[in-house]
Amino acid sequence: MAFDACMMRCVLDELSSAMPEARIEKVLGPRNDEIDMQLHSGKRSARLVFNVGPNAPRLQLSERAKENPKTPPNFCMLLRKYFTGARIVSVEQPHFDRIARIGVSCYDEMGFRELKYIVCEIMGKYANLIVLDSEDKVLAALKVIDFAASTVRQVLPGLKYQVPAMQEKLHPLTLDRAAFFEKLSAFPTERTGEKFITSTYSGIATQIAHELVYRATGDVDVPLCNIDTEGFYSVFEEWQRLLINRDYTPTLVIDTQGKPTDYSYMDITYLGDSMKKLHYESFSELLDAYFEERDRLEHINQRARDITTLLNNAVARTEKKLGIQRAALIDSERGEEYKKLGDLITANLYRLERGMDSFTATDYYDESCPEIEIKLDPRLYPSQNAQKMYKQYNKCKTAKVVLTEQISIWERELSYLSSVRDALSRAECEQDVLEIRDELYRSGYASRLRGYKPDKQKKIAPKQFLTTDGKTVLVGRNNTQNDYLTFKLSDKGDIWFHVKDMPGSHVILVTEGEEPTDRDYTEAAELAAYHSTATGEGVEVDYTRVKNVKKPQGSKPGYVIYKTNYTAYVKRPLDLSNFKTE
């Protein structure tokens, strides 16, 4: 669902009730398009998140801390100057739009108390965060809009702040039965009820309009001519009273793969039973649950853009090279044919003369002894033609050996690149990306990482889980950590797991000298399946004692060979909610 004016109302209601007169303790800038303010009110602390990025703009309270860069963005430093130690004294929503106007009591340079405003506009890709003085003059803006960017509305320091122009629509919370039916009678009857709601009333997301139509008719795309108007108004009025009375139901919609797909401030019924729904106590919990994975992936994608480009190009080059080598290997299979032709020419030297371009010979290599025509080079003597065929035979025989070896090398390189790509897809923080970047540097890709200089980095520990029966399971985050986990951290008697013939993490079931239970084995295998590219049911996971796992000398990070292994068939978990973490 788009973050509409109704959702803005819900969030501001929660901010006012949960954090009254909150004190701003810290101002953080986890990203260039996001500002987090650490608030404290009474016994509660929370973060007020202003996200004005193009993909997920929103305003929300959050309980979750985020990783912050070493050097904060300039706008973040400016807000620290203005608002660190300040107190929120008012929260407003001008014109019931996607705008929050937050009054903050702070101190000026001389130590006198003054009032400033933080204006958060959630307008899709035009979202912005603006700081105003007590007279509504712009002091600063995260996104400066000058005359070149817009001739209608500018956001520049020193200019008077202007609220974005409102559309000529009705206020959705005004209980006016006459106005509803007046607009309904003038609206084209062939258009749908959803279009009527979104075209007539401001601040309503399409998803909510679908829900209201569904509650009135039992379907979504229903034209007005087929809708009972009294029933339609009754549903619409019930929705209005829900917002007026603040009777919210924070709802998260989850698809069959366990991924959040939508969120709302009311129960959603038009999706039927195909989607699972979760209800939360607060909007901070709801929005954290919905945006956490999206924000993480977006952040990782931004930080790892050069690595992704490098991997894509390297994989494309490797696949192209493998294609050429495999085609050449197929051609090298003709070596025996060249040898046969050389033998037949030698057997018929007495019949041949220089200048002949072909001759017919009996193929004694075939049981039926057919007559075949053999091409000759008229510039060469017959014996030289035979030697030419033998040279081609030897060349193919050598090429077969070399190409087989080269194909094996490049297949391992492709497997390595796939494993790095898999690790990157599961990166959870910026430190994960830094370790992968360092791994690529040390694996010979330094020239393709622009300006990269390795430095001492804080190493992060492998992931740790607890099985139901209390055994520790360690999971590597990348190839370098996989090697460390298998050959340095684990004991020889621990159990090593890895998905079969696919990129994935090394997984260690710590035995501590005891024999794990069958459930320990199963859950460790499921973790190996989850931390891999495998999908679905019946995932094959190899497992053996750590002492049976070896690393060939000179091999790439993460590459191992093993013996005396067993194979488990498990279902890949949709998520890790059933696994305890240490």
Q: Are 232 and 202 in contact (CB under 8 A)?
A: no
Tell me, what's the pLDDT at 491?
Answer: 93
In a domain, 514, yes or no: yes
Distance of CA 445 to CAs 310, 356, 441, Å? 9, 55, 5
In a domain, 353, yes or no: yes
Question: Do 84 and 11 sit in the same domain of this protein?
Answer: yes
Question: Do 479 and 570 sit in the same domain of this protein?
Answer: yes
In a domain, 456, yes or no: no
Question: Do 371 and 486 sit in the same domain of this protein?
Answer: no
527: domain range? 463-581
Three-state helix/strand/coil letters over 433-465: HHHHHHHHHHHHHHHHCCCCCCCCCCCCCCEEE
Last residue of a domain, one of 250, 266, 299: 299
Percent of the chain at pLDDT exceeding 90: 59
Tell me, what's the pLDDT at 138?
Answer: 95
In a domain, 110, yes or no: yes
Question: Do 181 and 77 sit in the same domain of this protein?
Answer: no
Question: Do 57 and 35 sit in the same domain of this protein?
Answer: yes
Question: Do 189 and 120 sit in the same domain of this protein?
Answer: no
In a domain, 454, yes or no: no
- Model confidence, pTM: 0.65
Domain count, the chain: 4
- Whole-angstrom distance, CA of residue 295 vs CA of residue 487: 34
Tell me, what's the pLDDT at 274?
Answer: 73
> What residues of the chain score a pLDDT lower than 50?
none
- Whole-angstrom distance, CA of residue 182 vs CA of residue 331: 80
Tell me, what's the pLDDT at 135?
Answer: 93
In a domain, 436, yes or no: no
Q: Any idea what the CATH number is for the domain that residue 47 is in?
A: 2.30.310.10
Tell me, what's the pLDDT at 139?
Answer: 95
Question: Do 399 and 495 sit in the same domain of this protein?
Answer: no
- Local structure of residue 28 (DSSP, 8 states): E
Last residue of a domain, one of 239, 269, 299: 299
In a domain, 441, yes or no: no
Helix (H, G, I), strand (E, B) or coil at 400: helix
In a domain, 155, yes or no: no
Tell me, what's the pLDDT at 456?
Answer: 62
- Cβ neighbour number for residue 479 with a 10 Å cutoff: 25
> What's the pLDDT tens digit per position in 242-279?
999 999 999 998 877 667 888 999 999 888 777 888 89
Question: Do 41 and 131 sit in the same domain of this protein?
Answer: yes
Tell me, what's the pLDDT at 566?
Answer: 93
Question: Do 137 and 191 sit in the same domain of this protein?
Answer: no
Axis-axis angle for helices 382-425, 305-332 (nearest 10) = 150
Question: Do 128 and 193 sit in the same domain of this protein?
Answer: no
Question: Do 320 and 294 sit in the same domain of this protein?
Answer: no
Tell me, what's the pLDDT at 368?
Answer: 87
Question: Do 388 and 328 sit in the same domain of this protein?
Answer: yes
Last residue of a domain, one of 255, 272, 299: 299
The CA-based angle 203-209-213, given to 5 degrees, is: 155
